[in-house]
């Protein structure tokens, strides 16, 4: 399984407007995943496309009619909550709001059987996060917004995104600080314990040797 060999990590970019495009080859029966680590309630838009229909393993020809469906799902990692689950034949998009660290996965069910040859498909994923994931043109049409109102909405979304990002980074910093302090405290106590143990063993060794010498009438 691809996830055990390669995990693409998209995490903690310093700018609120974020986007990332990747492409990869996915064989039938394989699963490929990546992680999105963003503040809670951050909008994430995932666009995907299958660039070809694979190669026929027998004649080596492109066979568009046999393109298997691409299964997709999004899962929150800490509690395993499923945020999205869907199937697409060739290309499309979906979106979700984060509730912590999330895993986005793609898989193509195998139709080759035990003795068949697994076909390989080139997939492309494009991720838009935060403000970049909002379609302001569509929003303007639906809400009948003027150009100035659209720009004001963009500014408001950017401000909200910056505020959430700062809170997210502060929370990460606090968690890291607590972990560091806990680790330092454990190291200090372990050092005291090992020092005390060495002193106790040294004293016991001296007492035992002294007792031994007395029995042998050497002292």
Domain coordinates in residue numbering, the chain: 2-133
Instruction: Say what the pTM is.
Output: 0.62
- Please state which of the ranges 20-24, 63-67, 98-102 shows the lowest mean pLDDT: 63-67
Q: Is the pLDDT of residue 199 over 90?
A: yes
The pLDDT tens digits for 136-171 are 877 788 888 888 888 888 888 788 878 888 888 888
**Residue 68: how many CB atoms within 10 A of its CB?**
18
Instruction: Give the DSSP letter of residue 192.
Output: H
DSSP string computed for 75-102? EETTT--EEEEEEESSEEEEEEE-SSSE
Q: Which residues pair with 201 in a beta bridge?
A: none
- What was the pLDDT predicted at 172? 80
CATH 2.60.120.380 matches 2-133: yes
């Amino acid at each position: 399984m691809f996830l055990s060999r390669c995990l693409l990590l998209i995490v903690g970019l310093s700018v609120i407007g974020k986007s990332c495009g990747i492409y990869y080859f996915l064989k039938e029966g394989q699963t490929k995943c990546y992680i999105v680590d963003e503040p809670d309630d951050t909008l994430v838009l995932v666009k995907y496309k299958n660039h070809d229909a694979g190669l026929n393993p027998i004649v080596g020809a492109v066979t568009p009619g046999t393109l298997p469906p691409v299964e997709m799902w999004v899962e929150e990692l800490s509690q395993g909550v499923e945020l999205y689950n869907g199937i697409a034949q060739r290309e499309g998009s979906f979106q979700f709001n984060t509730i912590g660290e999330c895993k986005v996965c793609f898989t193509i069910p195998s139709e080759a059987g035990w003795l068949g040859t697994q076909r390989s498909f080139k997939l492309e994923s494009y991720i838009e996060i935060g403000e970049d994931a909002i379609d302001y043109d569509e929003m303007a049409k639906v809400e009948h917004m003027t150009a100035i109102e659209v720009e004001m909405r963009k500014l408001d979304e950017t401000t909200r995104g910056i505020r959430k990002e700062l809170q997210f980074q502060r929370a990460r910093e606090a968690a890291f600080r607590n972990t560091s302090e806990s680790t330092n405290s454990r190291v200090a106590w372990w050092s005291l314990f090992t020092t005390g143990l060495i002193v106790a063993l040294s004293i016991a060794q001296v007492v035992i040797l002294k007792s031994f010498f007395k029995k042998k009438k050497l002292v």
